[in-house]
Amino acid sequence: MQKKILRIATRKSPLALQQTKYVQKKILSLYPNLDIKIIPIVTHGDHILNKSLSKISGKGLFIKELEFALLENKADIAIHSMKDLPVNITKELCLISICKRGNALDSMVSNHYASINQLPKGAIVGTSSLRRQCQLITYRPDLIVSPLRGNVETRIAKLDEGKYDAIILATEGLNRLCLKNRITQIIPAELSLPSCGQGAIGIQSRSHDKKVLFFLSKLNHFNTFIEVKAERAFCKKLESGCQIPIGSYAILKKKKIWLRGLVGSPDGAVILKGERFGWYNTAEEMGYSLAKELLNNGAKKILDNFYIKKPYCI
């Protein structure tokens, strides 16, 4: 009898491949006789390394080629970092499962300083994220924030070459690449609120592929799914397409959610924050409600100004 084959599309970066192997192991624990074929794909975003994400259509650049592979039936599922997956997904595709989230927080990596507080005045901090940039500038306006692109290993290599005094990366990405020893500080959410879905891995497939949806829905982690649902609802209400300074972070414990949200100006001059507490079954409503509150309190003006200066993504 011929073994059933499951084709998995993934980005070709070391972190993406590591995440895919993690999902592969989870799938095989449920279906050991399945033959899994991994299809590495270089996305458009992987090619453009000399511009910040906010100038090149944001995070969607890292998933479009993977979605095309699904739509053209060249793959059965695609593995994404949830923070890279836009809140609006084409109706032909759907999110099957979200695996159990790792550490959602940001981390500082430095060869000479143990924390953000210890960085000297004028220290150069590398990050590719406007979200991290605006929060860092607000907390330490005396620091110099400099753009930093490339995969995790490339960014750390630039730090080791002395081009930066510190860099900010996602904690779970470092953990998955066995680079936990490089972390000098896990930054609390009060200082750097994470990106929507950060630390979680999502599995995407075609909406009509009912067999795949049924079998792989078993990989869904309930708490993580609800947390990310609240975070994505917050971002969806803000209509955040291109990368803009937005953070959202939910924690579900004993059926109750604590959701925090943030909208800021890239220069850190204005940062609006809010939070919600509620039952797990109101996750989406909480996200929409919090976003509406921040929009009414000034976030709409921040976002409108951003899109006036940048009316379309390039």
Average pLDDT, the chain: 90
> Which stretches of 143-261 are DSSP H helices?
152-160, 171-176, 210-216, 222-237
- 204-219: pLDDT as tens digits: 999 999 999 999 999 9
By CB atoms closer than 10 A (0-12, 13-18, 19+), residue 68 is: middle
What is the gyration radius of the CA atoms in the chain, in angstroms? 19
Active site residue 84: yes
- 37-71: pLDDT as tens digits: 999 998 765 545 555 555 545 556 678 899 999 99
Query: Does the pLDDT of residue 288 top 50, yes or no?
Result: yes
Parallel, antiparallel, or unpaired: how do β-strands 166-170 and 185-186 relate? unpaired
**232 touches 290 (CB < 8 A):** no
pLDDT reported for residue 311: 40
In whole angstroms, give the CA distance from residue 250 to residue 126: 26
Output the six-digit token pair for 133. Answer: 């940039």
Residues 94, 23, 14, 61, Cα dihedral to 10° = 0
Which one-letter amino acid corresponds to residue 231?
E
In whole angstroms, give the CA distance from residue 296 to residue 292: 6
> Could you tell me which residue, 1 or 58, shows the higher pLDDT?
58
In whole angstroms, give the CA distance from residue 54 to residue 72: 29
**234 touches 290 (CB < 8 A):** yes
Q: What is the mean pLDDT of residues 224-246?
A: 87
The confidence band for 244, taking pLDDT boundaries of 50, 70 and 90, is: confident
The catalytically annotated residue of 46, 76, 84, 160 is: 84
In whole angstroms, give the CA distance from residue 205 to residue 29: 20
In whole angstroms, give the CA distance from residue 272 to residue 300: 11
Q: How far is CA 186 from the centre of its chain?
A: 16
- 183-208: pLDDT as tens digits: 999 999 999 999 999 999 999 999 99
- For the chain, list the domains and their CATH numbers: 1-99+200-220 (3.40.190.10), 106-186 (3.40.190.10), 222-314 (3.30.160.40)
**167 touches 185 (CB < 8 A):** no
pLDDT reported for residue 314: 27
- 143-183: pLDDT as tens digits: 999 999 889 999 999 999 999 999 999 999 999 999 999 99
pLDDT reported for residue 210: 92
Residue 34 phi, psi dihedral angles, 5° rounding = -75, 140
By CB atoms closer than 10 A (0-12, 13-18, 19+), residue 25 is: exposed
**200 touches 248 (CB < 8 A):** no
In whole angstroms, give the CA distance from residue 239 to residue 209: 28
> Could you tell me which residue, 57 or 76, shows the higher pLDDT?
76
List Cα–Cα distances, 169 to 29, 147, 194, 209, 269, in angstroms. 31, 12, 11, 35, 23
**106 touches 169 (CB < 8 A):** yes
In whole angstroms, give the CA distance from residue 237 to residue 295: 9
